[in-house]
Structure 1
Amino acid sequence: MTVAISDSWKRMEDWLAEHAPATHAALTPPADSARIAEVERAIGRPLLRPLVASPARHDGFLDWRTSLLPGLYRLLSAREIVAEWRSLTGCYDRCAVDEAGDEVDDDFMRIGSSALLYGHPQVIPIARDMCGSDLLVDHRPVGDRGRVHTAEAVEGFVRGSHEMWTSLPVLMERVVASLETGRPLDGYTPVVDGEQRLCWEFGPRSL
């Protein structure tokens, strides 16, 4: 059974407070319901409950020099989600997707990536790295609904094979388990630098 995001956040907060206090200090206050409603109005659809639960605990992250998630991803605030969504959807070629038809989703599931799906308005960004790649939660009414994808301008959407990408609650649970055990997650090992910030070092092993 997947742990609730609120429980994963509590465990992460406790771990950061003890082991990486500089990163803990960069956690933000929660987004209120009015701010979440602003996001939903802007994107034109309700957010899946896990995507509401995370900013309702911490609305983004203050320090660009550290990241909570493997791959150097920094969680976006509610307002940043809207800004990033608008930027991504400006790249979406609806005509090309409509012309390709069902082959778009079929190819995405078979190949694991899709340039045509890049910027799809029903795939909502939740985190961004320093190189411009995003993590997104799929809100499309398809089999991947709720799954976390990565996206960057060249490859488009990428469907990760690791179990942690199954959903946002699963991702948060696996991240917390990696912090608590020190074991790598999809090749990334949590470490704390000299300034007491959480970092992720890439290596060959996986959790």
Structure 2
Amino acid sequence: MNMRVDESWRRITTWLAHHAPVTAAAIRPPAGAAEVRRTEEVMGRALPEDLLAWWGLMDGIADADYRGGSPIPTFYMPLPVVGVRERFAELSRYSNRDCCGPGGAHATVAGQRMFGFCTATVPICWSLGGGMLLVDLRGGPRHGRITEWHADEGYFETGWGGTAAMLDDVADQLDDPSRTEIVEDGRLHWT
């Protein structure tokens, strides 16, 4: 149990239920423990406690429910745990060979900018525009941070130190009416 993740996610889901019920309804119930373990095995490394705690509270938004809105600014939807594995497998086919070496070795460190996909990053959110939010599990002092990735631009830092920090920030942003707009009878839109 991660109290920080639990509290932030409670704030987010309560706000969504009251203000953006279409977005709230698109969020799936918690991921099963077997699915989470399987995903961790596919990643080939231990996943951060705050990410595991979040998956214990929800299992993303199904691709078919993308019209429900994006609970993570500005246009990101959490991936279901099965979707994490699928995106990881798909993107790993195009891994950056200058970074990703044999036996899980990586020539770059967490937070370091690069093009191509690094197999030491875990996709956790997606956008319709093709962007991804990932947990950066490369070594170094920025290990565990959330990064943004676009196939045509590479990796960018988000300023979020991890899943818990991302959820804290999202909960705070929801309290700022200048950051949100409710459209189409209950779908959250970030401004």
Q: Same fold (TM over 0.5)?
A: yes
CA contact (8 A) 1:3 1:170 kept: no
For the structure 1 residues 191 and 48, does the alpha-carbon distance in structure 2 shift closer, same or farther, using more than 3 Å as the test? same
Counterparts of 1:70 and 1:98 in 2: how far apart (Å)?
Answer: 29
Aligned-residue Cα RMSD (Å) equals 2.3
Quick check: 1:3–1:169 contact (8 Å CA) kept in 2? no
Q: 1:64 to 1:102 in 2, by over 3 A?
A: closer
What's 2:80 paired with?
A: 77
2 CA distance for matches of 1:37 and 1:173?
25
* Superposed displacement of residue 102, structure 1: 9.1
Structure 2-normalised TM-score?
0.87
After TM superposition, the structure 1 = structure 2 runs for residues 25-104 of structure 1, keeping only pairs within 5 Å, are: 25-62=25-62, 63-65=65-67, 66-94=69-97, 96-97=98-99, 104=108
Aligned-partner Cα distance in 2 for 1:176–1:102: 34
Tell me the CA shift for residue 49 of structure 1.
0.8
Distance 1:181 1:46 in 2: 35
Please report how far the alpha carbon of residue 36 of structure 1 lies from its aligned counterpart in structure 2 after TM superposition: 0.5
Over residues 80-123 of structure 1, what are the superposed CA-to-partner deviations in whole Å (9 max), with x where a residue is unaligned? Answer: 000111111111133x2379x998449x64xxx311xx321111
Structure 1 SS opposite 2:58: coil
Counterparts of 1:120 and 1:93, CA distance in 2: 6
What is residue 9 of structure 2 aligned with on the other side?
9
Determine the C-alpha separation between the residues in 2 that align with 1:119 and 1:67: 23
2:188 equivalent among 176, 190, 198: 198
Aligned counterparts of 1:102 and 1:91: Cα–Cα separation in 2: 15
Code of the aligned partner of 1:25: A
CA contact (8 A) 2:26 2:61 kept: yes
Deviation at 1:139, TM superposition (A): 1.2
Q: Give the superposition deviation at 1:5.
A: 1.0
- For residues 25 and 179 of structure 1, what CA distance do their matches in structure 2 show? 17
C-alpha distance in structure 1 between counterparts of 2:176 and 2:99, whole Å: 43
Which runs of structure 1 show a deviation greater than 3 angstroms over 4 or more consecutive aligned residues? Answer: 101-106
* Structure 1 gaps, min length 5: 184-188, 202-207
TM-score, with structure 1 as normaliser = 0.81
Q: Quick one: structure 1 residues 98 and 176, their matched pair in 2 at CA, closer, same or farther if it must change by over 3 Å?
A: closer
The whole-number CA distance in structure 2 between the counterparts of 1:3 and 1:37 is: 21
Give 2:124's match in structure 1, choosing from 123, 126, 130: 126
For these two proteins, the number of residue pairs brought into alignment is 184
Q: How much has 1:126 moved relative to structure 2?
A: 0.3
Percent of aligned pairs with the same residue?
28
Deviation at 1:181, TM superposition (A): 2.8
- Determine the structure 1 residue equivalent to 2:169: 174
Separation in structure 2 between the aligned mates of residue 25 and residue 17 of structure 1, nearest angstrom: 8
Amino acid at match of 1:29: P
Q: Give the letter for the 1:175 counterpart.
A: V
Q: Secondary structure at the match of 1:126?
A: strand
